Amino acid sequence: EAQVTQNPRYLITVTGKKLTVTCSQNMNHEYMSWYRQDPGLGLRQIYYSMNVEVTDKGDVPEGYKVSRKEKRNFPLILESPSPNQTSLYFCASSPTARTDSTEAFFGQGTRLTVV
């Protein structure tokens, strides 16, 4: 089944403790991105990747890192999480970002709480 898989689904952590949220897609998509979803603010893009070893900042990259060593994986790294990073995170992938009309496929979401 074609899908985007995030892990973990739920995570509670303490301020300053490094964590990684994994994202994997099995559709051979070039383009992957991370969003955070907050009430009243909708989805805001954190980072995106056009292809392997090509990543760039989105609208709200502060406090986050990403890597794209393989096409299928795009982990989101919080080196020193803070309470304002408490949010619902979504990973998404698309065949490419070079043309229009391509659908974005989303993961199930990761609900992160930083205390």
Partner 1 sequence: AQRVTQPEKLLSVFKGAPVELKCNYSYSGSPELFWYVQYSRQRLQLLLRHISRESIKGFTADLNKGETSFHLKKPFAQEEDSAMYYCALKISRGSARQLTFGSGTQLTVLP
Alpha-carbon distance of 31 to 29, in angstroms, equals 6
Q: Which is nearer to partner 1, 63 or 95 (CB)?
A: 95
Residues 6+ apart with CB under 8 A from 59: 44, 45, 46
- Nearest distance, CB of residue 4 and partner 1, angstroms: 8
Q: Which is nearer to partner 1, 31 or 85 (CB)?
A: 31
Q: Which is nearer to partner 1, 8 or 16 (CB)?
A: 8
Alpha-carbon distance of 6 to 33, in angstroms, equals 12
SS3 at position 85: helix
- Nearest distance, CB of residue 63 and partner 1, angstroms: 20
- Nearest distance, CB of residue 70 and partner 1, angstroms: 20
Q: How big, in percent rounded to 5, are the helix, strand and coil portions of the chain?
A: 5, 50, 45
- Where does this chain bind partner 1 (CB under 8 A)? 4, 31, 33, 35, 40-45, 48, 50, 56, 90, 92, 97-101, 103-104, 106-109
